[in-house]
């Protein structure tokens, strides 16, 4: 029994020495980052037209009646007031806008792993 235990301990020590002797490393799969060029072109046109119309008519007639007697046979009365108002307003509003935007961007290319030429794996 002691011999079996000794063999397992010796085997574990040999495996530990072998594990420390091997170099550690990782192989990266070829990966590429970046998109070489971006180009965007946008255009918009805006047109707006509105019309408003307003009409107003006012009429006022104030009449105080026949009047009142005054001393000495003379009478007096307030004058009659008549007022007419007519007004009209028309408005037209027009807007126009045209915009154009162009964007061009270049990103750097980055290759990791075995990619000697951009675009090839």
Residues 33-91 have pLDDT tens digits of 766 788 899 999 999 999 999 999 999 998 876 555 565 556 566 778 899 999 999 99
DSSP letter at 119 equals T
pLDDT for 65? 65
Note whether 87 and 76 are within 8 A (CB): no
- Record the pTM: 0.34
Position 23 scores a pLDDT of 74
Give the Cα separation of 23 and 19 in Å (integer).
9
């Amino acid at each position: 029994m002691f011999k079996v235990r000794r063999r397992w301990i010796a085997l574990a020590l040999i495996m530990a020495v072998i594990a420390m002797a091997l170099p550690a490393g990782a192989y990266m799969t070829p990966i590429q980052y970046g998109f070489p060029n971006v180009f965007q072109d946008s255009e918009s046109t805006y047109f707006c037209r509105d019309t408003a119309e307003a009409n107003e008519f006012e009429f006022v007639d104030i009449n105080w009646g026949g009047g009142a007697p005054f001393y000495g046979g003379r009478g007096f009365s307030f004058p009659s007031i008549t007022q007419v108002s007519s007004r009209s307003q028309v408005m037209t509003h027009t807007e126009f806008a045209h915009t154009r935007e162009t964007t061009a961007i270049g990103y750097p290319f980055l290759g990791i792993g075995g990619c000697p030429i951009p675009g090839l794996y």
